[in-house]
Amino acid sequence: MKDVIVIGAGPCGISAAIELKYQGFRPLIIEKGCLVNSIYHYPLSMQFFSTPDKLEIGGVPFITIHEKPTRQEALKYFRTVVKIHQLDVHTYERVTRLERLPDGFRVVTQSADGEHTYLTRYVVLATGYYDNPHMMNIPGENLPHVRHYYHDGHPYADLDVVVIGGRNSAIDAALDLYQAGARVTMVYRKTSFHSSVKAWVKPVIEAAIEKERIGMHWGSQVLEIKQKSVIIEKEGKVMEIPADAVFAMTGYRPNLELLEQLGAKMDPVTASPVCSPAMETTVPGLYLAGVVATGHDATKIFIENGRFHGAVIAEDLKNKEKVKV
């Protein structure tokens, strides 16, 4: 039987595993994709909000030549952290089922070589939120040229591209697409950018809109996506915008499926899992680390504060083991 299984090899999951090792546990991390899978799927040109010191875990300094680290630097940093702490990580292994047992949990997974079953005393769920985009539930949203993730602007040079949204991910995509030579139009349901937009990016996007390098439709609702256009409603009028490609940057939400399998209690207002101060759910022995602990608003927890969940969890488990002895 495993001591602890950490589900998710993002920064918060890695941090939790390190803290558990500090307390004498032997954690196993299981990850459905690659190491820090969400960061790997960020846009190629992505730069973090945070300074490197606020992303550090496991006592390993994050060295960068930039004020704000890049995606590539972060990938290298977290690979290094895992190597230094000699963490046991199973990548490309998806957890398909989580069952409560009298003395722990049964974790069932699927990988390229088949199904696997693990028994463990404790589980730390650190699955993040990046795999579950908020859907608009409009006609055409599932067409092949519509994407909820942005990677690189090069394939869209000299094409008409519509970016839906007005927060950081949408702005970053719009600017990168413009730099790559796309004809970009943004559509946002609000009348101004959100206060969370990065301070060093806001004047850049505002200048691009003012000089009509990027088209902008404020206070607009997307009604339908067609093969070559997007239908919107603006100020009571229906308009059609040319679109060879559409990026619906409408945000993401945590995947709570495994929690629901075990009957963990959720807050009826926020839809967030109910947790103790030590991040334990209403299912004894099941803990949360990182953004999976949020509900509708996934902006409350991120790497900067989620990285500290592991220490709280590890301390709680250490105390529980003392009581057992």
238 CB neighbour count, 10 Å cutoff: 11
- Reported as a single tens digit per residue, the pLDDT across 28-57 is 999 999 999 999 988 888 888 788 888 999
**pLDDT value of position 189:** 95
Chain center to CA of 280: 21
Given 248, 266, 298, the domain boundary residue is 248
Work out the angle at residue 257's Cα, subtended by the Cα atoms of residues 253 and 259, and round it to the nearest 5 degrees.
105
Q: Both 107 and 176 in a single domain? A: no
Q: What is the mean pLDDT of residues 208-213?
A: 96
Q: Both 150 and 237 in a single domain? A: yes
Q: Both 29 and 120 in a single domain? A: yes
The DSSP string of 182-230 is -EEEEE-SSSS--TTS-TTTHHHHHHHHHTTSSEEE-SEEEEEE-SSEE
Range name among 12-16, 117-121, 247-251, 320-324 with the lowest pLDDT average: 320-324
In a domain, 301, yes or no: yes
**pLDDT value of position 257:** 85
Residue 298: pLDDT over 80 = no
- Reported as a single tens digit per residue, the pLDDT across 145-166 is 999 999 999 999 999 999 999 9
Given 215, 248, 281, the domain boundary residue is 248
Query: Can you count the helices (H) and strands (E) in the chain?
Result: 8, 15
**What is the count of structural domains for the chain?**
2
Q: Both 200 and 125 in a single domain? A: no
In a domain, 140, yes or no: no
CATH number at residue 199: 3.50.50.60
- Structural domain including 53 reads 2-131+252-324
Place of tokens 């009509």: 212
**pLDDT value of position 325:** 39
pLDDT band of residue 301 (cuts 50, 70, 90) is low
Euclidean distance between the first and the last CA atom of the chain, given in angstroms as a whole number: 17
Given 217, 248, 279, the domain boundary residue is 248
Range name among 2-6, 94-98, 261-265 with the lowest pLDDT average: 261-265
- Residue 318 burial (C-beta neighbours within 10 Å; 0-12, 13-18, 19+): middle
Which string of b and e fits 68-90 if b means at least 16 CB within 10 Å?
ebbbebbbebbeebbeebebebb
Percentage of the chain beyond pLDDT 90 is 74
Place of tokens 């940093």: 77
- Residue 142 burial (C-beta neighbours within 10 Å; 0-12, 13-18, 19+): exposed
Quote the CA–CA distance of 1 and 31 in Å, as a whole number: 19
Residue 302: pLDDT over 50 = yes
Quote the CA–CA distance of 150 and 101 in Å, as a whole number: 41
**pLDDT value of position 293:** 83
**β strands within 63-205, DSSP E:** 88-90, 93-101, 104-111, 114-125, 146-147, 160-164, 183-187
Percentage of the chain beyond pLDDT 70 is 97
